[in-house]
Structure 1
Amino acid sequence: MKSNNTKVSNAIIRRLPRYRRYLNELRKQGVKKISSNELSELIGYTASQIRQDLNTFGGFGQQGYGYSVDSLFHEINKILGLDREYKTIVVGIGNLGQAITNYTYYYKIGFNIVGLFDVNPKLVGLSINDVLVRDFSEMSDFVKENDIDIAIICVNRENAQKVTDVLVDAGIEGIWNFAPVDLNVPNDVAVENVHLSDSLHTLSFLIRSNELEDAEK
């Protein structure tokens, strides 16, 4: 993998998980190698775009051979930091928090949830997939004592920044935020904001665009 200090564009970063997902399916099917043209037909990106994206990190393909599916999958894993496990907590164990906890548990995607936190006394003391729900007041010490890497925030917008501030003070490295608000964090804390309404609004736009195209025919 190429090592340099050049900042990789956000667009390329967003495409890498899609490459990884398709390559993993190809591995399961027993496919050993694939060309950029064949990968293009599967994914929908142009072959030129695929080659440019992958060349950002080094030359993974061979002229006249294409890409080794297994090798490229593992290289993308390394690029995405998925060659290790992340100690993770979930803050806010309502319906969404429980769903995400179950998802990460059953799909074994490398994010090991070791702590759950909430302020609701009806939830504190329960266990989800053998992980205890603790009171929010215990969170800061838990993060420090267990070297937690990532926090998944599933609280309401009014409390999201307060929760974030506690996490940052405790030394958290990354936050996966499902609260409907953008968070303010220092530059050394990575944040991925997941706004579900944004995705629905995009879907609405695509439906409307298709309807307009049909009307013009």
Structure 2
Amino acid sequence: MGKQVSISVIRRLPRYYRFLGELLRGGVHRISSRELSGKMGLTASQIRQDLNCFGGFGQQGYGYNVEALFHEIGRILGMDQNYKTILVGVGNLGRAVANHMTFDGRGYRLVGLFDNNPDILGETVRGLPIRPVDELEQFCIEEKPDVAILCTPREATKEVVNRLVALGVRGFWNYSPHYDIALNHPGVAVENVHLGDSLMTLCYKVKDLDDPEGDRG
């Protein structure tokens, strides 16, 4: 990629990908940065700056080829990688993630589920049996997963992460952010999902609707 791209730009890429996919399904083949800005709530200048981080995609007077840009952003995001993925912690949250998240087409392939609850071991979720966490080592040696989704209880997260890193897992989608994976394992990629933080942010936004001149610090 050549130069370091800011995390704020990277976080906008999935949104570009989603909007471009909707445009494609709607039969739109070409779009200008100004038209795209109107649909996404970003400025045309911001869109051009973001996309220029990865090379020149638009043409003066023509705009962007929607299909070409859609596929190129997908390539940049790694949608074609098909990373082997396991999920640890198949309680209510983990089961919901396993059942409802679309992994195929987003760069992942779910290959294993693990939990310590004896009451659910052997159950099948999304066509995969729930295995005991004791089998992590053997499974990882055989399957060599790249990514782990963590829906583990707070007290179990540190041990599970340490074991998985030692087994070669390189990425974590972490729903258990009480243990700072990135600090303790700087060589892996981590995306923390803070559901509570997101809910509190929404609370502030709703409060701000009622009191726009309120707490400004």
TM-score by length of 1: 0.93
Task: Say yes or no: does 1:82 pair with 2:87.
Answer: no
Helix, strand or coil at the partner of 2:119: coil
Where does 1:1-217 land on structure 2 (aligned, <5 Å)? 3-4=1-2, 6-104=3-101, 109-184=106-181, 185-213=184-212
Amino acid at match of 2:119: K
Contiguous gaps of at least 5 residues in structure 2: none
The separation in 1 between residues aligned to 2:158 and 2:48, in whole angstroms, is 40
Shift of 1:110: 3.6
| Contact kept in structure 1, 2:152 and 2:176, CA below 8 Å | yes
Shift of 1:81: 0.9
Amino acid at match of 1:201: M
Residue-by-residue CA offset, 1:43-92 (whole Å, 9 max, x unaligned): 11110000000000000001101001111011111111112211111100
Amino acid at match of 2:195: L
Shift of 1:186: 2.3
Question: Please, what is the CA RMSD of the aligned residues?
Answer: 1.6
| Contact kept in structure 1, 2:103 and 2:109, CA below 8 Å | no
| Contact kept in structure 2, 1:141 and 1:170, CA below 8 Å | no
Helix, strand or coil at the partner of 2:196: helix
| Contact kept in structure 1, 2:84 and 2:146, CA below 8 Å | yes
TM-score by length of 2: 0.93
| Contact kept in structure 2, 1:116 and 1:134, CA below 8 Å | yes
Helix, strand or coil at the partner of 1:62: coil
Identity %: 50
| Contact kept in structure 2, 1:127 and 1:133, CA below 8 Å | yes
The separation in 1 between residues aligned to 2:213 and 2:25, in whole angstroms, is 39
> Bigger shift: 63-72 or 186-195?
186-195
The separation in 2 between residues aligned to 1:190 and 1:106, in whole angstroms, is 18
The separation in 1 between residues aligned to 2:73 and 2:102, in whole angstroms, is 22
Amino acid at match of 2:40: I
Paired positions, count: 212
